[in-house]
A and B are shown apart, each in its own frame.
Chain A
């Protein structure tokens, strides 16, 4: 039983989202939903984080920032794309500056669609991410190639 199994730390980055999903991610931490009571904390430091919650369709200038944060996170790590923009580009898919989803830049493990994604579905996505995090940790401990 690992502490990671129940209480991951999260880093949130807004990669060209409209804010709608960002404030819903923040709302998950506040008294009505309160995921902090399970020890799920929002950290600003990529090196403290287990789960990368990312919103928005990722524009040109953000590609590098997103990759940078992802690479700084220690293994095992899980990426949750929150909101339809992060999943596929959403209504902004046709914009000249949007790459069309987080998956075009870094590997995504969990997709949470919605515009804006509701706190309930964001929490559900994080819970799914916990399972994936655990699998990745086992694979890492077993020495599977490509997991470290």
Chain B
């Protein structure tokens, strides 16, 4: 029996764009246990809800995280609209779905790039980010912001897309699909990717369920769990089928995300086909009162925004359960028994978004 040593990993580490700290307990090269400690990005923004008007707070909730910002804003709005009994225009719901899918693609491409970089495959990293810029161009053209869009409002959205814009988006989709096919092919077939991902970081199907994993992590372990299939917002009218893989390793989680790029494109085409004409915002009067759990599917999994209001212009409580936090127990499970050199790749496969997790 060899001696155990503890290797600190992070908070400032080359593979991590964001700070998280893990204490890795090693026996030779094998990880026996991983002990996460967090708090490097905690800003305490849930508390800000007591200082800001509930309408202004939309912008704070978008800044929970710069990668999934649009969906955070939209989910917060969903919650507040629900307790105020506001029915937002159907067109606004469709626009939210289109922008949500664009932010999902930008997040997944970002992740695929960072993942390739984590494996030391820098060329692939650059290629993913090159394609991602095309998505950001659409987001910037239609909302005005590259990574933080700021178009969500309580009661709808602040910007519309005209017929010419929708047509332009449709015409760009085939070339995006070609780009995605090429990228997915590399992740699927390349020997470098295969040897670094297949059979590594196993999360068995039953464990994934017990530990309450969400998003691509649980879908990579064979459970079809996706909040979009509950049909919130415009998703009830769109043809959606969750992507599921059974391998339960790093490769499965990677391929779930790669295939979801195509699902997003299909959903956007679908939404543009069926988007109704009409207003994009309804006027909102008065202050909310009541409580609600709003759920939505983020690139990283299910997010829950709990909002509680008591008739004042400031909400009483805002609580966010973000997907990364739900996936940390699963990560600890995946790390136990792996080799030290595989730790960066495994940590990346839960798509850790520390900004979300700690808020």
Binding site for B on A (CB under 8 A): 12-24, 26-27, 30-32, 43-46, 56-57, 59, 61-62, 65, 69, 91-92, 94-98, 115-116, 118
Smallest distance from the beta carbon of A32 to chain B beta carbons, Å?
Answer: 5
Which B-chain residue is minimally distant from A11 (CB atoms)? B12
Given the interface pairs A94-B48, A115-B63, the reply to whether A14 lies near B133 with Cβ below 8 Å is no
Smallest distance from the beta carbon of B344 to chain A beta carbons, Å?
Answer: 11
Smallest distance from the beta carbon of B50 to chain A beta carbons, Å?
Answer: 10
Contact B13 A44 (CB under 8 A): yes
Contact A22 B19 (CB under 8 A): no
In-complex Cβ contact of B66 among A57, A95, A116 (8 A) = A116
Contact B41 A17 (CB under 8 A): yes
Lowest 7 A-B CB distances belong to which pairs?
A20-B66, A44-B14, A30-B129, A19-B66, A19-B355, A31-B130, A97-B44
B44 contacts across to A, CB distance below 8 A: 95-98
Which A-chain residue is minimally distant from B60 (CB atoms)? A91
In-complex Cβ contact of A32 among B63, B64, B130 (8 A) = B130
Main secondary structure of the interface of B (DSSP, over half): loop
Query: Cα distance A65–B355 when bound, in Å?
Result: 17
Query: Cα distance A62–B43 when bound, in Å?
Result: 11
Smallest distance from the beta carbon of A44 to chain B beta carbons, Å?
Answer: 3
Given the interface pairs A31-B130, A94-B51, the reply to whether A59 lies near B43 with Cβ below 8 Å is yes
Given the interface pairs A23-B17, A26-B17, the reply to whether A31 lies near B126 with Cβ below 8 Å is yes
Contact B67 A91 (CB under 8 A): no
B89 contacts chain A at the CB level, 8 A cutoff: no
Smallest distance from the beta carbon of B23 to chain A beta carbons, Å?
Answer: 15
Contact A31 B129 (CB under 8 A): yes
In-complex Cβ contact of B43 among A20, A69, A97 (8 A) = A97
Q: A27-B133, A98-B43, A98-B44 are in contact. List 6 more A-B contacts (CB 8 A).
A: A14-B40, A22-B17, A23-B147, A26-B129, A31-B130, A69-B12
Smallest distance from the beta carbon of A124 to chain B beta carbons, Å?
Answer: 16
Given the interface pairs A65-B19, A94-B48, A95-B43, the reply to whether A13 lies near B12 with Cβ below 8 Å is yes
